[in-house]
Amino acid sequence: MEIQNVILRGSFNPTVSSVQTRKARLFTKLAVPFLSEIGFPKWVSMKCDCSFHSDTKRNLQRCRNRAQKAECKGISDVEEDKPKAKIRRKNLAVFVSGGGSNFRSIHEATLNGSVHGDIVVLVTNKHDCGGAEYACCKGIPVIVFPTRKDKEDVFSAEDLVIALKSLKVDFILLAGYLKLIPAALIRAYPKAILNIHPSLLPAFGGKGYYGMKVHKAVIASGARYSGPTIHYVDEQYDTGCILAQRVVPVLAKDTAEELAARVLHEEHKLYVEVSAALCEERITWREDGVPLIQSKENPNNYR
């Protein structure tokens, strides 16, 4: 599979197969079946082999496009004596800056049926990161954001919103994305953007606390427990409403690497569980503004 490196501009219209470009800008279709049928607004897509080593280039060229168009089914009104209406599959956008292990876990869960949704696009600020390579191999379109400031065609936050809306993205999942989310995107997706952080927020969160820096700080503090937190995203780092947490003990002789591995193991499970609840519309909000997850087995129970 070969995905061409393009910059697309224009007005989105799902009923046509091309886009009228402004100022005679370039239009090219992606080699992804369900995307090639529609036109796009301006956005940036990554070429699979743009920055990888030659062996990886050859491997990626042999990758088959496994992306499938989700068959979306709307919620319909039913009578009480009929089966419960089916919830349509949700479209997910995942943001990464590195290897994307949480992204991979969620993607696998969408394929095996654990998560009632589909990852329709990956957004990354590093076009050659492991997450982008994985997405390319799986036929998932990649948007590079933010683009470098020295680029002639800068891809703005407003452009990103247009692109995600064009792909009918329902929810955005940050999975190791190290850039601050622009206000325009937060306004466009209220209560629809989640992030995972490798500590029990509000402890060890905020600007500068990411990756191994978090785990080193936890150990240095003498804290006996750590673990991942999934929270809603606002305009600051790690300050949004907490949705879910998982406790991991900090052992007496832990290194940062050992603690990180245990926390990451729980991250993979927790993010899949939360993604499933999100796609099944099992997130509710208390009157005081605290989000809760409704139990799938017993709708009267919350966590």
Q: What are phi and psi of 215, to 5 degrees?
A: -65, -35
Task: Summarize pLDDT for 50-80 with one digit per residue, the tens.
Answer: 333 334 344 444 443 433 333 333 433 433 4
Specify the pTM.
0.76
Give residues with Cβ within 8 angstroms of 55, minimum separation 6: none
Query: Strand 229-232 relative to strand 193-197: parallel, antiparallel, unpaired?
Result: antiparallel
The span from the CA of 272 to the CA of 106, in Å, is: 5
| pLDDT at residue 149, as a whole number | 72
| pLDDT at residue 183, as a whole number | 96
| pLDDT at residue 62, as a whole number | 44
| pLDDT at residue 170, as a whole number | 98
Consecutive 10-residue runs of the chain (303 residues): their mean pLDDT?
34 34 30 39 48 40 40 39 73 97 98 98 96 96 87 85 97 96 97 98 95 97 98 95 98 97 98 98 96 92 90
Give all domains of the chain, ordered by start, each with its CATH number.
87-293 (3.40.50.170)
Q: Is 197 a catalytic residue?
A: yes
- Dig out the tokens for 86 from the structure: 């089916």
| pLDDT at residue 290, as a whole number | 97
The span from the CA of 168 to the CA of 14, in Å, is: 11
Instruction: Please tell me the number of Cα atoms within 13 Å of 292 on its side-chain side.
Output: 15
| pLDDT at residue 300, as a whole number | 87
Residue from 107, 116, 127, 197 carrying the catalytic annotation: 197
